[in-house]
Amino acid sequence: MTTSPTGHDDAGHPAAPTSAGAPARPATPWASITACPDGPLLVRGDVEILGPDGTPAPRQRPTVALCRCGASGIKPFCDGSHKVVGFRTDDEDL
């Protein structure tokens, strides 16, 4: 990750000061959500995912795929079931 002359990182987030030689990092936590055509939502960044009862879902990776089709056996996470059930979205115009 690099910091631009305007003090922002590659993703456009404000960069925090770092010691010499250390990589720049965002000054504040950030997250992005990407809707995959006919598939899950990819969630990247610093975000807590809560279950229906408000309990945090265990998260092992910085990027996770969340189910949109409703058929996953590991909800809220995607297990690829959308392919089996033929899940389709109307994301083409996004």
Rounded CA-CA distance 83/91 in Å is 16
> Chain centroid to CA 71: how far?
20
14-53 pLDDT, tens per residue?
445 445 555 565 567 789 999 999 999 999 998 999 988 9
Q: Specify the 3-state DSSP secondary structure of 5.
A: coil
Structural tokens at position 32: 């992005």
Q: What is the pTM of this model?
A: 0.65
* Residue-range domain boundaries for the chain: 29-94
CATH architecture of 29-94: 3-Layer(aba) Sandwich (3.40)
49-84 pLDDT, tens per residue?
998 899 999 888 999 999 999 999 999 999 999 999
Contact assessment for residue 52 and residue 30, using Cβ atoms and an 8 Å cutoff:
no
